Amino acid sequence: MRILLFLATNFAILLVAGTVLSLLGFNGIMAANGIDLNLGALLVFCAVFGFGGSLISLFLSKWMAKRGTGTYLIEQPRNQHDEWLLSTVKSLAEEAGIGMPDVGIFPSQTSNAFATGWNRNNALVAVSAGLLERFPREEVRAILAHEIGHVANGDMVTLTLIQGVLNTFVLFFSRIIGHLVDRVLLKNERGYGIGYWVTTIIAQIVLSILASMIVMWFSRKREYRADAAGASLASAPAMIGALQRLRSEQGMPNELPGELTAFGISEHLKEGASRLFMSHPPLEERIRALQGPT
């Protein structure tokens, strides 16, 4: 589940985009000058499809979040817990200077939370039932403040822009690599052969994996900012206490799927090369960052 749904959606759109480019005859434009590529036209087309994929993922993010987690939106409070949750998010949103987000609860015993949405005034903040059951309210408030921090910092929009740029270059360079293999190595001078298609698909997969490392690096950096926002909007001791409690529960399975992992509160420690694909820094590092120099 560590590969984000956001990235998976973009990857699927990239594959579809490549097929559409071929069906529209764009490869004929690329080959118009023999073995030369029309790099300007290629870059424009790749940018249109690359940013299109990330924007589609952004605008569908709330819908995917609700469907993927079974989140129940609190429209009319059913009990005191719902009332407290709504009033807490409202006060935090006002303090952060953003519009009131939709507030929801998803049925998971894993302590987790996430925020998503296409802009800071049309977001969704949700927490798991397990977190509400086991965490004291001051720590739940700190976690909500952390998620509000993601929204106020514009992390989802910034991620979309970064993903759009990466999508563009994945499409762009995979086709250049395919072209070179087909025309230079395989000496194909008419149209594109099987070598072009196979090479382009393989290059697109490899470059997409490399691009996901950049997105994960960005996600880890923004997590520190969200922690700082949680400490500012709630309190540093409450934010540290929440992270310490999450660390004690690290053995529990993570049930938060897809793109939401990048904007959730918990994470799993990985070692070695797998750290490159971590959406969150290790909890120990996040706690030390909040505690400051000792």
HSE, side-chain direction, 13 A CA sphere, residue 24: 11
**Reported confidence tier of residue 184, pLDDT bands at 50, 70, 90:** confident
3-state DSSP assignment of residue 36: strand
Q: Is 133 annotated in the active site?
A: no
pLDDT greater than 60 at residue 244:
yes
How much of the chain exceeds pLDDT 90, in percent? 35
What pLDDT digit, counting tens, does each position of 37-69 carry? 667 777 878 888 888 888 888 888 888 888 888
pTM value is 0.79
- Least confidently predicted of 230-234, 235-239, 274-278: 274-278
Q: According to the model, what pLDDT value does residue 63 have?
A: 87
Q: According to the model, what pLDDT value does residue 4 have?
A: 47
Q: According to the model, what pLDDT value does residue 74 have?
A: 93
Query: For 221-248, what is the mean pLDDT?
Result: 93
DSSP letters of 64-128?
Answer: HHHHHHTPEE-SS--SHHHHHHHHHHHHHHHHHT-PPPEEEEE--SS--EEEEESSTTSEEEEEE
How far is 81 from 203, CA to CA, in rounded Å?
A: 50
Query: For 160-184, what is the mean pLDDT?
Result: 87
Out of 139, 147, 223, 267, pick the active-site residue. Answer: 147
- State the average pLDDT for the chain: 81
